Amino acid sequence: MLNLSVLLEASTQDYPDTTAVIFNEMKMSYRELNAAANMFANGLRKIGVKRGDKVAVMLPNLPYFPIAYYGILKMGATVVPFNVLFTGREVAYHLKDSDAVALVGFAMFAESAYDGFTQVETCKHLIVGSANPKEPFSHDDANVIDFNQFLGMGGSPVFDTVQTNADDTAVILYTSGTTGSPKGAELTHSNMVMNAQGSVDLVDMKHGDVALVALPLFHSFGQTVLMNAAFRSGATITLLARFTPDAALGIMERDNVTIFAGVPTMYWALYSYPGAEKQFDLEKIAANLRTAASGGAAMPVELLRNFEERFRVPILEGYGLSETSPVASFNVRTKPRKPGSIGLPIWGVQMALVDENDEFIPKPTEPGTLSDIGEIVIRGHNVMKGYYKRPDATASVMTKDWFHTGDLGRVDDEGYYFIVDRKKEMIIRGGFNVYPREIEEYLMTHPKISLVAVKGVPHDKLGEEIKAYVVLKQGEQATAEEIIEFAKQGLAAYKYPRLIEFRSELPMTATGKILKRALTE
């Protein structure tokens, strides 16, 4: 028996009065957080949620998130995190695909949450957290209830956690891969507990640490490496609902932050923030900051060196995917770091490279040399159970117990891995994974569009920006603004293309596939 909620419950037992969550001026102790999660679980039971049911969570980095997250787990149900920027169309798709019976949202995003909720008959309840807890969220629909009123409906701060098996699904994280429609990676209680424990070891997190959570908790990086790892170690998380460099630096100074994790664009924003020396006590921030972790995209070596010099903190780069809970490899504190490398496989996890024939590529034996390029494959306690309701998709990425990432890399003689190229199609825009196929399929529903290709183009601040190459139907005319406005209506804000280029035709291979590498910026 194993339930991911043990991370919170064990630290509540060991450190009941330690602050678990900080949000602005509000603080919650482990005792208070666990009691609120128990009340949420009791509320779920009263509305008929059962062990094994799916409950979607569409919340920003607010105390509502850990309360709902652990409350769902305590009930023996499965957490299905949604990006808060989903449109109504995207909410409806994910609710239906995951078989979610309830959705937990936030007032600021209630319109799109409700729009999607009303399109899915099998999702019976919408629980909405208000921006001001003293003013309950109200709605004409009887199936919509305010978050705090829902806690009151649960009543008792005591709940007997439902016992789940280690291989039961704890969390379903949605990812598109290169297949277009998003699919849910089923992560078990064992996957998530082991990855949280591994993250604790990697960043040396312990009771007394304060971790700044600027990464979205609905994403696997922030969820596992920060929230779950912190609660495993009895540390404190301080929440930032929307990242800006001045807000992050202010929290670092105010809360004596010791651990920070972010994507490279966050590090760039912190390092290049104008006037930081005058506005903040950088000496104090640097003196407290003990560990920094980076993932989601390759960290430019020059940025890594500049940030480390200013803040006097080592940045540990890692690598992972939603399908791997997410951490698969990491540069560790106890061994030499190699800038540009994604590090070594974490404890209990194996990584290897395979060629086009799925044959293993040997590690070089000569010091300082790199192997041939191959696809990175992974196996171990971190690999997902499979894609929810998609056995064919699962089989396509699992061969001989190895998960095929689609990422190309090299390995050196000491076992350090280096990414050569990401999944061929994927765009990383400001730390968010964007899959062109999904955007293309949506844009193709525009009545004037005949053909479209989407790719990432270089961007100074975001890493990549999304560009759509559009071929209109014969006789049709359209403006870039018109296409962008259509994209905004059906795609999350981080997904829609900001750049549109009209073409009379698109370059094709001999087999009729669009040749994206021939599309120039």
How do residues 233-290 score in pLDDT, each as one tens digit? 999 999 999 999 999 999 999 999 999 999 888 898 899 898 899 999 999 999 999 9
Phi-psi domain of 30 (left: phi exceeds 0; alpha: psi -120 through 50; beta: other): alpha
Grouping H, G, I as helix, E, B as strand and the rest as coil, residue 211 is strand
Q: What percent of the chain has pLDDT over 70?
A: 97
Per-residue burial over 424-447, b = 16 or more CB atoms within 10 Å of its CB, e = otherwise: ebbbbbbbbbbbbbbbbebbeebe
The answer, yes or no, to whether residue 420 has pLDDT greater than 60, is: yes
Grouping H, G, I as helix, E, B as strand and the rest as coil, residue 323 is helix
So what's the pLDDT on residue 521?
57
Report d(CA 87, CA 58) in Å as an integer. Answer: 11
Average pLDDT over residues 459-482: 93
Could you tell me the CA-to-CA distances from 315 to 63, 190, 265, 338 in Å, in that order?
27, 28, 14, 11
Could you tell me the CA-to-CA distances from 222 to 20, 160, 185, 226, 262 in Å, in that order?
15, 28, 17, 5, 8
Q: Token pair of 513, please?
A: 């596939």
DSSP state for residue 234 in the 8-state scheme: T
Residues 6+ apart with CB under 8 A from 310: 271, 282, 286
Q: Token pair of 101, please?
A: 């019976």
The answer, yes or no, to whether residue 511 has pLDDT greater than 60, is: no
When mean pLDDT is compared across 75-89, 199-213, 358-372, 416-430, the lowest value belongs to 416-430
Q: Which burial class, exposed, middle or buried, applies to 502 when counting CB atoms under 10 A from its CB (0-12, 13-18, 19+)?
A: middle
Q: Token pair of 248, please?
A: 């992050």
Q: Token pair of 359, please?
A: 């044959």
Grouping H, G, I as helix, E, B as strand and the rest as coil, residue 8 is helix
The pTM for the full model equals 0.87
So what's the pLDDT on residue 50?
98
DSSP string for 27-91: EEEHHHHHHHHHHHHHHHHHTT--TT-EEEE---SSTHHHHHHHHHHHTT-EEEE--TT--HHHH
Q: Nearest to residue 250, comparing CAs of 24, 438, 98?
A: 24
Report d(CA 464, CA 429) in Å as an integer. Answer: 5
The answer, yes or no, to whether residue 476 has pLDDT greater than 80, is: yes
- List the domains of the chain with CATH numbers: 6-188 (3.40.50.980), 427-518 (3.30.300.30)
So what's the pLDDT on residue 482?
96
User: Which residue bears the tokens 């920060």?
Assistant: 226
The answer, yes or no, to whether residue 134 has pLDDT greater than 70, is: yes
Phi, psi of 510 (to 5 degrees): -65, -25
Tell me the longest C-alpha to C-alpha distance in the chain: 71
DSSP state for residue 223 in the 8-state scheme: I
Report d(CA 234, CA 423) in Å as an integer. Answer: 36
- Assign 178 a pLDDT band (cuts: 50, 70, 90): very low
Residues 6+ apart with CB under 8 A from 6: 193
So what's the pLDDT on residue 180?
62
pLDDT tens digits for range 31-44 = 999 999 999 999 99
Strands, E assignment, 176-290: 183-188, 210-213, 236-239, 259-262
DSSP state for residue 431 in the 8-state scheme: T
Phi, psi of 376 (to 5 degrees): -75, 130
Q: Token pair of 147, please?
A: 């978050």
User: Is the backbone peptide bond immediately before 507 cis, with ω within 30 degrees of 0?
Assistant: no
Q: Token pair of 204, please?
A: 């040396």
User: Which residue bears the tokens 């921030």?
Assistant: 285
- Assign 359 a pLDDT band (cuts: 50, 70, 90): very high
Report d(CA 497, CA 481) in Å as an integer. Answer: 11
The answer, yes or no, to whether residue 510 has pLDDT greater than 70, is: no
Q: Kindly report the average pLDDT of the chain as a whole number.
A: 93
pLDDT tens digits for range 104-133 = 999 999 999 999 999 999 999 999 999 998
- Assign 14 a pLDDT band (cuts: 50, 70, 90): very high
Q: With beta carbons less than 8 A apart as the criterion, state whether 481 and 521 touch.
A: no
Phi, psi of 155 (to 5 degrees): 80, -85
Report d(CA 121, CA 291) in Å as an integer. Answer: 46
Q: Which burial class, exposed, middle or buried, applies to 410 when counting CB atoms under 10 A from its CB (0-12, 13-18, 19+)?
A: buried
